[in-house]
Amino acid sequence: DHGRKDLYRYDVWGGVNRVRDLTDGKLRWGSEPADVAGKVVHGIPAAGMPAAAGLTPAEVRDLTAFVLALPYPPRLPPDVRAAVYPVP
């Protein structure tokens, strides 16, 4: 659900960590494209986010662009927008 559910996980230090809502535009540890791409490629092991090993540079760019566009529905293609922001 793109992080909109109240899902909590324990990090490696035993602290509670809420899964980030990717639709609110508030990303941890930087929201520049290079920051997001780095999190995609390397993961965030302490928070339980695995690295996305095996992605091509083009796939990393596409995934980065998707994550950065999620808070802005008009930037998403119509079919993706309908899946992320369904009309009730």
CA pair distance 60, 51, nearest whole angstrom: 11
Residue 55 is predicted with a pLDDT of 94
26-83 per-position pLDDT tens digit: 888 888 999 999 999 998 887 778 898 899 999 999 999 999 999 999 999 999 899 8
CA pair distance 39, 49, nearest whole angstrom: 9
8 pLDDT above the threshold of 70? no
Model's pTM, two decimal places? Answer: 0.76
5 pLDDT above the threshold of 70? no
Residue 4 is predicted with a pLDDT of 59
| Phi and psi at residue 21, to the nearest 5° | -80, 110
Say if residues 24 and 61 touch (Cβ distance below 8 Å): no
Say if residues 44 and 35 touch (Cβ distance below 8 Å): no
